[in-house]
Amino acid sequence: MLRAMTNTGRFVWYELLTTDPQGAIAFYSEVVGWKTQPFGDSSDYTMWVGEQGPLGGVTLLPDDAKRMGVPPYWQANVEVANVDETVAKVKELGGQVHHQEDVPTIGRFAVIGDPQGAVISVYISEVFPNRVRAKRQSLGSFTHWIMAALISLGFPAVARWSRPLPFVFFAAITVVQFIVVLMAYPETKGVSLEEIQKEMSVA
């Protein structure tokens, strides 16, 4: 739905919340020339797709918003380093926080309003703040390079001792991975390569 990029302070996604998503799709496809693409297995959310890829989405206006008399509207999303810290700053400066939510596998966002009432959404592509992700990524990279060095240094001796066994092991692991992907993962279980290609292509 929302892009997982390091675009702190930039508009990264635009959503249309409307009472008639199909009507909106028909309208904007003709007026702006956008194409559409389903978001995963969800039938409730459709992505807008431009020449450079997905740029936003369209979904049904929530029932709570309808009851409050909120008309269909566009919501702009700005990426921030930390949603919770941003929300705290909004309250400190006299703004309002209308909604907060964690979207599984997507990220965390909050709909906020400035003291004059204008509304926008702040967003981070993962629940963890950037500084937390940076530490974990640094640890992962460090571990990766250390293990790569140890394997490189030790492999010649292991190969001389075991001869073809390492290659047999890696071949077996590759076969196991193929079977798991083919038969276990719901995204690929029983799905042909042609169907996967069609699913990943822009409609």
Q: Single out the residue of 61, 17, 55 nearest to residue 35, CA to CA.
A: 55
Read off the pLDDT of each residue in 43-66 and give the average, rounded to a whole number. 90
State yes or no: pLDDT of 197 exceeds 80. Answer: no
Residue 44's pLDDT is 86
Same domain, 203 and 148: no
Same domain, 59 and 147: no
Specify if 5 maps to a domain: no
What's the predicted TM-score (pTM) here?
0.57
Specify if 138 maps to a domain: yes
Mind listing the pLDDT tens digit for each residue in 121-132?
999 886 555 666
Percent of the chain predicted with pLDDT > 90:
46
Same domain, 175 and 99: no
Same domain, 84 and 149: no
Same domain, 144 and 171: no
Same domain, 173 and 101: no
Q: Are 134 and 142 in contact (CB under 8 A)?
A: no
Read off the pLDDT of each residue in 152-170 and give the average, rounded to a whole number. 83
Same domain, 151 and 172: no
Which stretch of 67-71, 74-78, 85-89, 100-104 has the lowest confidence by average pLDDT? 100-104
Distance, in Å, from the CA atom of 173 to the CA atom of 142, rounded to the nearest integer, reads 25
Specify if 1 maps to a domain: no
Same domain, 28 and 115: yes
Q: Are 46 and 57 in contact (CB under 8 A)?
A: yes
Residue position matching structure tokens 């702190």: 8
Could you give the C-alpha distances from 198 to 2, 38, 52, 54, in angstroms and in order? Answer: 21, 12, 18, 16
By three-state DSSP, how is residue 118 classified? coil
Same domain, 26 and 59: yes
48 CB-near residues (< 8 Å, 6+ apart)? 14, 16, 28, 34, 35, 36, 54, 55, 56, 57, 58
The count of domains in the chain is: 3
Specify if 31 maps to a domain: yes
- What is the chain's mean pLDDT, rounded? 86
Specify if 3 maps to a domain: no
Same domain, 78 and 143: no
Same domain, 176 and 110: no
Same domain, 119 and 98: yes
Distance, in Å, from the CA atom of 199 to the CA atom of 109, rounded to the nearest integer, reads 27
With cut-offs at 50, 70 and 90, classify the pLDDT of residue 147: very high
Read off the pLDDT of each residue in 30-51 and give the average, rounded to a whole number. 88
Read off the pLDDT of each residue in 42-46 and give the average, rounded to a whole number. 82
Specify if 103 maps to a domain: yes
Q: What is the CATH number of the domain that holds 57?
A: 3.10.180.10
Which residues form the domain of 59?
Answer: 11-124
Mind listing the pLDDT tens digit for each residue in 82-93?
899 999 999 999
